[in-house]
């Protein structure tokens, strides 16, 4: 499950390539970009949350706008609640009564969205333009020419003339592109057709720089027909291409094509993930990896033949009398998983090697193993990385089905496929009863060794349960920890600069609510002592949240300041501390917001039993502690997720605080991330129990405050947050008088196996846990107003969850609720203008339930009438 809702729109192909350190192409065809509300979700499966550039990029695949409204930020220590309260003041000096307040339509106005420019770096050794690091490429918006530019002196030149991109008498509608490693060719993606959260199909074209010609990657490409290419990637050297078409893997040198696999079908995937691996394991659209010397390919084969089908009716996608039906192989908790196998293909030998055990496959397999694979039906492969400068060694991780036992395997190919061997590099079984975290972004990085062993850098949990940098070696049983302490290295942010022998990473060392960039020297006698922070402020009362991406040679990096003030983006040099190029300071947004009276954000702690939880208040403008305010809790709460942070946020919550006069509260209770395993893993086998207790205790605390109207406290959330909202109402504690749930899980038996079983085990192993975690007791819904929203086309959290819950409410004769479905909408609910309607509905329900400061727009246009007496409080 992802805390970020997916989009109905086409994915930005740059994300998958930049995230994996490859040369990335530009996506400049954004005229149809829809601006929408960011609900502050972060992935609970891939970090979820390690913050990488995908968390702040504006694109059409993820809910993006993560903003905290501020003009100028001042930090004052407060003692209202507790010793750690920090008030983020966002108001300019002056008469607040003369200033504007955020309107509902402002949330969908791009003028209120900060810009986050992304540079697409190229490996430029052979381009012949500039041998230095720091060359980037982009599409000129006026001429459509592809430009190369140096970040150092800002000199640029035309790399590809738009006049060369004529196909079928028209300019090719390029959506993204990449340059080959030898800089002789470019690959263009067109006609992208979204499939699931990360996957899409497209037409792919190859441009030859020497003769300025463009041809399709495959001969059967027809622009007006459905695209067939699911994935295509350049080799690390030269200009070979590995690609997947109709679930079979191919490789080409652009002269001839070689088919690697032949069994691809609707249920057998080669080189690309199926639905559940895409959603819950890799978070990408590919499962194929070139060796560094471009002579071998590692790839996964996924067989989902035994996975049950889930059928969804689609009502608006055609003009036919009968609805269309979408069928997805979706493994629910306890159901058969896709069977996964790892292969290595040798281009020189034109032969494949089966690495993992699969007795049914009649193909060459590794004979020499010093370990036993997990059984085919009890295996999840979570990461694959080449551990070599050529093709001699491959590392991969596999876990058992319930993900509490992990093996890291090293495959040795030095003497060819027929003499390949495989041994265990590391075995990990958590002793705390928790799960093995599965970051979507690879964490293993190969390090060279002069001792003949295999060394690799990883992010792993230390003995105290905090994620830290560590070097593992096949020649030494004792790992070398590079970092330590009660803080965490953010998985997916580690960059190794082998030429400078530096390791760069983002961590939470200053605070779980902050992100800062650090560097360690591998040349130091004690690398752990060489750690330096590149972004930490001198003043401990100043807080910040950063994200970073590096150039291919790691000589420069794009530093994104994400809050709490309005975001800025600069390019900095690793070697020259004085070098800085400003890419964006969002001056227009700062000027615009000077005319607005904006909420204040206050960071604090709240206790649940003997547990301190991080919390955040968004206070209305002109907040007066002598008055009584209604409160809206915003919850997510999924394992390893995080909502409370110093990231800038201007969202629906800003509007609710500004116009309706609500205090918006967010609390990260037990199970959430970046505070160590002890805080995280207690929710295992009993999702929804501790998290509900923590939200209820937080609600009780806010209800006790003098400035809170205890009769008007509501809670809302999306996805796992919708589940938490629903469980809180089920608890029937009397604190929350209303709940607003969007696309909630209501029974973990209905959710996908890989996510669910990581935390709940299987229904067979934990039957009572599944009963207790489902929403079964309807009594609490008689005592609170409830809004239930779901898309009928949700391929992630199926509409079944809400349908079954409504049936339970019906049987219990509960009437004090409203249900709103959105036809054919997926988990994001953005299809056919639905997203704006969702937030309008949330606003309307909140206003009708508890009132709030008179907001004429809502009062004039409110049209829903909810069951039961609704007290209006102005």
Annotated active-site residue 653? The verdict is: no
Q: Which residues of the chain have pLDDT under 70?
A: 2-98, 124-131, 359-364, 367-368, 853-874
Q: Hunting for tokens 């695949």 — which residue is that?
A: 61
The catalytic position among 116, 504, 798, 827 is 827
For 868: left if phi > 0, alpha if psi spans -120 to 50, otherwise beta; the answer is left
Domain boundary assignment for the chain = 76-115+593-861
- In sequence order, what are the residues at sequence separation of 6 or more whose Cβ sits closer than 8 angstroms to the Cβ of residue 94? none
User: In the structure encoding, which two tokens stand for residue 662, read together?
Assistant: 């609500």
Cβ atoms within 10 A of the Cβ of 522, count?
Answer: 17
CATH architecture of 76-115+593-861: 3-Layer(aba) Sandwich (3.40)
> Residue 368: its pLDDT value, please?
67
Q: Are 190 and 165 in contact (CB under 8 A)?
A: no
Cα gap 631→850, rounded to integer Å: 10
Catalytic residue list contains 649? no
pLDDT of residue 131: 62
- 726-735 as b/e: b if 16+ CB within 10 A: bbbbbbbbeb
CA distances for 75 relative to 69, 206, 541, 605, angstroms: 15, 53, 7, 16
629-634 and 663-668: which strand pairing?
parallel
Helix (H, G, I), strand (E, B) or coil at 128: coil
794 an active-site residue? yes
Distance separating alpha carbons of residues 354 and 204, to the nearest angstrom = 30
pTM over 0.95? The answer is no
Q: Which residues contact 638 (CB under 8 A, 6 or more apart)?
A: 1, 3, 44, 48, 671, 672, 719, 720, 721
**CA distances in angstroms from 718 to 754, 791, 866, listed in the order given:** 20, 12, 21
- Given the residues 46, 358, 373, 794, the one annotated as active site: 794
Residue for token digits 């040369």?
A: 23
Size of the chain in residues? 874
What per-residue confidence (pLDDT) applies to 60?
32
CA distance 230 to 193: 10
Pick from 407, 412, 422, 426: nearest CA to 370: 422
From CA 279, how far away is CA 294, in angstroms rounded?
Answer: 28
What is the model's pLDDT at position 130?
53
In three-state secondary structure terms, 767 is: helix
CA 555 to chain centre: 26
796 token code pair: 């992630």
Tokens of 309: 């089908």
Contact criterion met (CB below 8 Å) for 506 and 52:
no
Contact present, 40 and 643 (Cβ < 8 Å) = yes
CA distance 152 to 241: 31
Q: Determine which one of 7, 511, 719, 753 is catalytic.
A: 719
pLDDT score of 133: 87
Which H, E and C letters describe 630-683, residue by residue? EEEEECCCCCCCCCCCCCCCCCHHHHHHHHCCCEEEEEECCCCCCCCHHHHHHH
Rounded Cα–Cα distance for residues 356 and 344 (Å): 10
Please report the pLDDT score of residue 50 as a whole number.
Answer: 30
């Amino acid at each position: 499950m992802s805390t970020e809702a997916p989009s109905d729109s086409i994915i930005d192909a740059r994300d998958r390539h930049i995230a994996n350190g490859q040369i990335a192409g530009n996506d400049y065809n954004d005229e149809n970009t829809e601006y929408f509300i960011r609900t502050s979700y972060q992935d609970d499966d891939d970090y979820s949350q390690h913050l990488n550039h995908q968390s702040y990029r504006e694109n059409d695949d993820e809910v993006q706008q993560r903003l905290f409204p501020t003009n100028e930020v001042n930090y004052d220590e407060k003692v209202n609640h507790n010793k750690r309260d920090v008030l983020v003041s966002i108001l300019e000096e002056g008469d607040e009564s003369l200033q504007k307040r955020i309107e509902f339509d402002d949330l969908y106005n791009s003028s209120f969205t900060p810009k986050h420019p992304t540079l697409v770096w190229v490996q430029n050794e052979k381009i012949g333009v500039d041998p230095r690091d720091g060359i980037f490429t982009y599409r000129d918006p006026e001429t459509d020419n592809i430009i190369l530019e140096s970040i150092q002196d800002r000199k640029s030149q035309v790399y590809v003339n738009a006049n060369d991109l004529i196909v079928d008498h028209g300019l090719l509608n390029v959506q993204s592109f990449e340059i080959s490693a030898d800089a002789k060719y470019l690959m263009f993606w067109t006609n992208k057709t979204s499939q699931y959260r990360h996957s899409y199909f497209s037409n792919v074209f190859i441009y030859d720089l020497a003769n300025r010609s463009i041809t399709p990657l495959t001969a059967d490409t027809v622009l007006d027909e459905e695209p067939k290419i699911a994935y295509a990637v350049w080799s690390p050297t030269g200009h070979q291409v590995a690609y997947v078409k109709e679930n079979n893997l191919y490789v080409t040198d652009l002269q001839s094509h070689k088919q690697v696999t032949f069994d691809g079908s609707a249920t057998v995937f080669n080189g690309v993930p199926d639905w559940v691996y895409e959603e819950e394991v890799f978070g990408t659209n590919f499962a194929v990896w070139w060796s560094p010397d471009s002579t071998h390919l590692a790839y996964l084969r996924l067989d989902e033949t035994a996975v049950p089908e889930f059928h969804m009716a689609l009502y608006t996608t055609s003009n036919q009398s009968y609805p269309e039906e979408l069928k997805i192989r979706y493994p629910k908790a306890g159901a058969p998983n896709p069977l996964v196998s790892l292969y290595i293909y040798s281009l020189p030998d034109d032969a494949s090697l089966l690495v993992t055990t699969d007795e049914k496959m009649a193909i060459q397999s590794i004979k020499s193993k010093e370990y036993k694979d997990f059984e085919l039906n009890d295996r999840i492969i979570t990461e694959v990385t080449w551990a070599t400068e050529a093709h001699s060694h491959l590392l991969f991780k596999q876990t058992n089905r319930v993900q509490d036992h992990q093996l890291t395997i090293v495959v040795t190919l030095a003497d060819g496929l027929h003499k390949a061997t495989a041994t265990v590099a590391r075995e990990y079984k958590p002793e705390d009863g928790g799960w093995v975290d599965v970051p979507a972004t690879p964490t293993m990085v190969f390090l060279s060794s002069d001792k003949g062993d295999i060394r690799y850098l990883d992010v792993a949990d230390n003995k105290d349960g905090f994620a830290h940098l560590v070097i593992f070696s096949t020649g030494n049983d004792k790992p070398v920890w590079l970092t330590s302490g009660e803080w965490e290295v953010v998985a997916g942010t580690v960059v190794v600069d082998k030429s400078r022998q530096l390791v760069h990473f983002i961590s939470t060392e200053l605070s779980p609510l902050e992100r800062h960039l650090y560097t360690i020297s591998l040349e130091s006698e004690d690398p752990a002592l060489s750690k330096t922070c590149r972004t930490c402020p001198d003043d401990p009362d100043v807080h910040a949240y950063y994200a970073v991406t590096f150039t291919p040679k790691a000589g420069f990096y794009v530093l994104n300041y994400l809050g709490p003030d309005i975001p800025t983006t600069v390019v900095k040099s690793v070697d020259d501390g004085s070098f800085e190029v400003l890419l964006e300071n969002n001056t227009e947004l700062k000027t615009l917001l000077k005319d607005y009276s904006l909420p204040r954000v206050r960071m604090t702690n709240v206790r649940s039993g003997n547990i301190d939880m991080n919390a955040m208040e968004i206070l209305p403008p002109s907040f007066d502690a002598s008055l009584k305010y209604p409160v809206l809790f915003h919850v997510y709460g999924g394992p390893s997720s995080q909502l409370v942070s110093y990231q800038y946020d201007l969202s629906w919550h800003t509007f609710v605080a500004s116009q309706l006069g609500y205090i918006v509260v967010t609390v990260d209770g037990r199970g959430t991330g970046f505070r160590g395993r002890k805080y995280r893993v207690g929710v295992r086998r009993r999702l929804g129990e501790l998290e509900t207790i923590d939200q209820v205790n937080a609600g009780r605390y806010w209800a006790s405050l003098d400035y809170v109207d205890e009769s008007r406290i509501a809670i809302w959330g999306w996805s796992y947050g919708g589940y938490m909202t629903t469980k809180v109402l089920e608890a029937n504690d009397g604190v929350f008088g209303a709940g607003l749930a969007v696309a909630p899980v209501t029974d973990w038996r209905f959710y996908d196996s890989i996510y669910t079983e990581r935390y709940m085990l299987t229904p067979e192993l934990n039957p009572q846990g599944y009963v207790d975690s489902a929403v079964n007791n309807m009594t609490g819904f008689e005592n609170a107003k409830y809004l239930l929203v779901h898309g009928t086309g949700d391929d992630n959290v199926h509409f079944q969850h809400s349908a079954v819950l409504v049936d339970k409410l019906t049987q219990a004769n509960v009437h004090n609720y409203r249900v709103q479905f959105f036809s054919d909408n997926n988990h994001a609910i953005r299809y056919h203008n639905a997203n704006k309607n969702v937030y309008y509905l949330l606003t309307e329900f909140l206003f009708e339930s508890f009132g709030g400061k008179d907001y004429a727009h809502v009062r004039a246009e409110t049209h829903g009438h909810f069951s039961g007496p609704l007290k209006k409080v102005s």
